[in-house]
Amino acid sequence: MPSRFHHPPDTASVLGLPIHLMPDYAGWLFNHLQARQGVHVVTLNAEMAMQGEQNAALARIIHQAELVIPDGAGVVLYLRLRGINAQRVPGIELAEMLLRRSPTTSPPSTVFFYGGAPGVAAAAAQRWQERIPGLHIVGTANGYLSATEQQDLQAQLKALQPNLILVGLGVPRQEFWIVQHRHLCPHAIWIGVGGSFDIWSGQKTRAPSWLRNNHLEWVYRLYQEPWRWRRMLALPKFAWRALRYSERQLQK
C-alpha cells in the first residue's frame, strides 16, 4: 500500500500560485529521498508571491516545484482569510529540521551548502557539524563563483550526489539555479534557503521570538537591513492584492 507520504499534497492557492499543505513536510521529504524521487522545495512568502506576479518564469517554476511551503505570515493570513487553516513553516526552520534528521536516515543523508559571501557557507557548515557530530556535510561553495569555479561546483555535485542541497542565492536567483541544475543530482532534495547561511554562520540574527510569534519578523529585517525597504514595499502591495484577489480555483 502506498504510504500516505507519497500521496500528492493538498494544494491551496495564493494569488494563483500553489501552496502545499501537510502536517509533516520533513517526513514527506525523507520518504521521497528514500524512494529516490528528487524534490524541489520552494518556500513561498509574500515578497516572492508578488515577484511571481511580475515574473512569469518564476511563477512557472513555483507551479512546477514538487513542494511549495507557506513561509511567511502574509501567505498564512491570506489562506486564513479564505478559510484555510495553514500553519506557517519558515524555510530556515524546515532546513534545520532536515539537517537534524539527516543523520538518522538509512543510510545517513549527505548535505551540500551553496551560497552566501565567501566563507559564510563554510562557517555555517562548521557550526552545524559541531552541533550535530553525525551530520555529513560533504561540501560547501560560496554564492559568488567565477565561471570556472561554477563548472567545478557542478562537477563536484555530480560526483558527490548529495541528498540534501541547500542553495542560498536569494530569490529568484536560487530558484532559477536549482531548476537549471537539479538534473545533476536527480534524486536529491533541493531547497532555496535565502539568507539562512548568514544566520547559521552568525553573520546575521533572526528576529526575537516575541516578534516572530506576532507575525512581525519583517519589522526586524527592516531594522537589520534598512536597504530592503524598497523590496519590502511588496508587503503592503501583497496585503492589498490579498484583499482583492478572488481565488476562483478555491470556489470550484
Piece of 20-28, 122-130, 168-176, 242-250 that binds ligand UDP (CB under 6 A) = 168-176
Distance CA 151, CA 75 (A): 36
Asked if 115 is part of the footprint of ligand UDP (rule: CB under 6 A), the reply reads yes
Distance CA 69, CA 161 (A): 24
Asked if 74 is part of the footprint of ligand UDP (rule: CB under 6 A), the reply reads no
Cβ at position 51, least distance to ligand UDP in Å: 9
Kind plus residue range of the DSSP H or E element containing 212 = helix 209-213
Phi, psi of 63 (to 5 degrees): -65, -35
Select from 69, 168, 175, 242 the one that contacts ligand UDP (CB under 6 A): 168
Piece of 15-23, 29-37, 98-106, 115-123 that binds ligand UDP (CB under 6 A) = 115-123
Are 178 and 105 a contacting pair, CB within 8 Å? no
Cβ at position 180, least distance to ligand UDP in Å: 14
Which positions from 125 to 164 touch ligand UDP by CB under 6 A, shown as an x/- string? ------------------xx--------------------
Closer to ligand UDP by Cβ: residue 74 or 143: 143
Closer to ligand UDP by Cβ: residue 64 or 224: 224
Closer to ligand UDP by Cβ: residue 84 or 166: 166
Inter-CA distances, 72 with 191, 214, 246, Å: 16, 12, 20
DSSP conformation letters of 88-143? P--HHHHHHHHHHHGGGSSSPPEEEEEESSTTHHHHHHHHHHHH-TT-EEEEEE-S
Q: Is the dihedral of CA 67, 70, 75, 81 positive or negative?
A: positive
Closer to ligand UDP by Cβ: residue 228 or 241: 228
Q: Shortest Cβ contact with ligand UDP: which residue?
A: 143
Distance CA 225, CA 195 (A): 12
Select from 166, 195, 201, 217 the one that contacts ligand UDP (CB under 6 A): 195
Say how many Å lie between the first and final Cα of the chain, rounded.
Answer: 30
Closer to ligand UDP by Cβ: residue 48 or 84: 48
Piece of 56-64, 74-82, 157-165, 190-198 that binds ligand UDP (CB under 6 A) = 190-198
Closer to ligand UDP by Cβ: residue 18 or 143: 143
The three cell numbers locating residue 247: 481565488
Q: Which residues bind ligand UDP (CB under 6 A)?
A: 115-117, 143-144, 168-171, 173, 194-195, 197-198
